[in-house]
Amino acid sequence: MHVLDASAFIKGYDTTDRTATVPRVREELTDENGYRFDALEGSGMHVHVPEQAAIEHVERTARQTGDFGTLSETDIRLLAAAVELDGTLVTDDYAMQNVAERLSIAIDGIDQEGITEERDWQFMCVGCGREFDENPGRCPICGSELSRKRP
């Protein structure tokens, strides 16, 4: 089963395999992209609502990789749906792909090649320059914002 991100509807992704997505994807789509969603739903696409346990599992994993702050609620639910449905995630979003790799979810890109390596991001304070393995939101030393950096 292919679990479709909003970009799959925007780019007109096509597959003969069964498809699924989450309700929040429809909220992100407008005009003809929304009509594509409606048409696929009408022809049998499964609209899946993931369990809270799967959502929390994805959130923990995204915190471990350092991608949590860049993922939307929709992204997290799509990843949780892919876990629950044992599906292939269809997206060009690199943060989603990074978390999917950690979760052993298969990935199918749309326009992009996809990630070439899994990463655990680090965070650096823009004020004092200290580095952190996890994102505490703001620097606990000087209170400045943190930026994500490649280790």
pLDDT digits (tens, 9 = 90+) for 63-117: 888 899 889 999 999 999 999 999 999 998 989 999 999 999 999 988 765 545 6
Q: Is 21 left (phi over 0), alpha (psi -120 to 50) or beta?
A: beta
What pLDDT band is residue 151 in, cutting at 50, 70 and 90? low
pLDDT, position 143: 84
| Sign of the dihedral through C-alpha 61, 119, 124, 77 | negative
Please state the pTM of the whole predicted model: 0.76
Q: Which of 9-13, 22-26, 30-34 has the highest mean pLDDT?
A: 22-26
Look up residue 92 and give its two tokens. 């060009």
pLDDT, position 141: 82
Pairing of strands 2-4, 106-108: unpaired
